[in-house]
Amino acid sequence: MNYLITIIGPTAIGKTALSITLAKHFGCDIISCDSRQFYKEMKIGTAVPNAEELAAAAHHFIQNKSIFESYSVGDFEQEALSKLDELFAKNNVQIMVGGSGLYVDAVLKGFDEFPEIEPSVRATINQQFEVSGIDYLQEQLQQLDSEYYQKLTFENPQTLQNPQRMKRFVEVCLGSGKPYSSFIGKRKNNRNFIPIVIGLEADRDVMYNRINQRVHIMLKEGLLEEAQTLYPNKQLNALQTVGYRELFDYFDGTTTLDFAVEQIKMNTRRFAKRQITWFKRVENVKWFNYIADKEGVINLIETFVK
């Protein structure tokens, strides 16, 4: 039987350090599922493991793509599962680590299958969105799939303000002639491994202090200069990321550098809160304090692996 040790938790909580300790103990590789560490142009601002950490264990899906490439969570799911098949042939225990909840879910559970939609439908939606904004998308979803609209209203209201997600919902409704919700939960995604999910957590004040410290470290390592080189391509989807957006505003002349840095800290703290909310919904997580004895984590895992 294969086992995929999956380490989750908010940013700056210590997932990388734990993953390396476990990889050394079990003699296995590490699959990264941080959706921004994929991009080779974004090293400092995404807290890519340093050279010493990368040398301590074999890592996959770190700086393997360019910001100019189109890369979706579905692409990652397929590539990660293929890589895991290859790795499990050598060792029945492997590790996955990262703070991108959607990407974790993609590997552990997979996604529902949706129909192919004619490109003309997407083009029409984009045109209407340019004219009427998010209100158009909300009205369309409410009309075409009131059940799903109500579900989002009560369970995940911020999604109603996300243009990319909303466009996709409306696109499926219009292109298929069926509600988006009618495609959810229909597909069975079989996996050839048993997941062992380890969550790291900390008190809020501790977590916020670690985030603030990380921002200062990034700045010392050259985040400002890295963002400056990426600034000409600021419209790319990959760069719509905390740590870069705020500095782009500074380069635009709309904020001061001090204000931009404080915004990075604040937005990273908000991001960490969203991560926690997402991961708390994951089933069967074994939660540990971020300074927990790593031997205790190893002992727990070995009770499952044996």
Q: ∠ CA(34), CA(37), CA(38), 5° rounding?
A: 95
Does 303 count as an annotated binding residue? no
> Of 75, 53, 55, 56, whose CA–CA distance to 64 is shortest?
75
Does 15 count as an annotated binding residue? yes
> Of 97, 65, 58, whose CA–CA distance to 79 is shortest?
65
Does 296 count as an annotated binding residue? no
> Of 198, 197, 216, whose CA–CA distance to 12 is shortest?
216
Say how far apart CA 282 and CA 4 lie, in whole Å.
15
Does 184 count as an annotated binding residue? no
Does 7 count as an annotated binding residue? no
Does 11 count as an annotated binding residue? yes
Contact 73, 40 (CB under 8 A): no
Does 9 count as an annotated binding residue? yes
Contact 34, 44 (CB under 8 A): no
Residue 291: φ, ψ to 5°: -105, 20
Say how far apart CA 93 and CA 28 lie, in whole Å.
7
Q: Which residues are annotated as a binding site?
A: 9-16
Q: Which residues are annotated as a binding site for ATP?
A: 9-16
Q: Which residues are annotated as a binding site for substrate?
A: 11-16
